[in-house]
Amino acid sequence: MKATYAQNAGALLLIVVDNVDEDLFVMATDQPDSTVTLPCVLMGLTDGNTIIGSIKDGTAVTLTGPIQFVNPSLSSRSMARFSSRGPTPDGRFKPDVVAPGSFIVSAKSDGTIVSNQCVQGLDVGVLAMEGTSMATPVTSGTAALVRQYYMDGYYPSGTANPSDSLVPSAALLKATLIASTASQSRLGASNTLISGPPSVYQGFGRLLLEAGLVIQPIPTDPADGLTGHSLWVNDSFAATTGSLQSFCFKVTPTALLRSNPICSAVPNSQTCYRPFKATVGRCTSQ
């Protein structure tokens, strides 16, 4: 849209300068506007300030290179540079999880309330955008799939079994989402490494149901190199302040054991304001 407005205003060139330096940065956009013939250049802060300073001084500036619509293919392991980070002002750990929110393509309305249609004719009826408005529906849809997983009786066998149907609590849904994640490694399109989960950059990681839910048959080509795992849930006991609940699991010495204790607080209370503490130790034979 910036290019369209600039061209309509009579501009000969559009230079968009980022507020930081990075090899590549992108902006939310729909499909390239075929009516835009205005040369457009996107650049980092340092280069942009240099060029703008030269123009203000009356120095001739020559920019060379191919002009094309760029739709970069960012790695699924990259965190969007504009993504908010934790913790919250009152010290709580956030985010919980992250989800795809860059270049998410969905329907583009024709702008007419009564038509209930996407854009018709020469324009394309889809729109690519980014931000929490994109990541939040992905997360809510993922949560709906987790709920259906339990309701249809996929737990614990990995296949639908009506006799195993379970109505999950909100706490179980949240715990399952946190357990169903994969690590992000970089920030944006740069080579800037970020700390692994849990961290203020990515929470417990990118939503990936295959990492938590057990499905049969086991995928032959698991995403992110994940292999077979087991899932155990307990959604039937009430926790009180200072209470202790113990569970014993038998695992191999090299196994990774993930524990996600989550509670549902009583409305208008701060019962679960402080997180549970999960301690892993040796089990004692009884």
Return the DSSP state at 219.
P
Average pLDDT over residues 197-218: 87
Structure confidence by residue, pLDDT tens digits, 98-127: 998 877 877 777 777 787 777 765 556 777
118, β-bridge pairs: 109
What ranges do the domains of the chain cover?
2-56, 78-224
CATH number corresponding to 78-224: 3.40.50.200
Contact 151, 165 (CB under 8 A): yes
Strand segments, DSSP code E, in 146-276 are 181-182, 186-187, 206-207
As a whole-number percent, the residues of the chain with pLDDT over 90 amount to: 16
Number of other CB atoms surrounding residue 112 within 10 Å: 9
Average pLDDT over residues 179-207: 83
Residue partners of 1: CB distance under 8 A and separation at least 6: 29
Quick one: pLDDT band at residue 226, thresholds 50, 70, 90? low
Quick one: pLDDT band at residue 248, thresholds 50, 70, 90? confident
Instruction: For 199-256, give the DSSP string.
Output: BTTTBT-EE-GGGTS--SSPPSS-GGG---------------TT----------TT--
Structure confidence by residue, pLDDT tens digits, 17-59: 877 766 555 554 444 455 677 777 777 788 888 888 888 888 8
- One-letter amino acid at 24 equals L
Q: pTM for the whole thing?
A: 0.68
Please name which of 91, 71, 261 lies closest in space to residue 171, comparing C-alpha atoms: 261
pLDDT computed for residue 236 by the predictor = 80
3-state SS, residue 150: helix
Average pLDDT over residues 74-84: 74
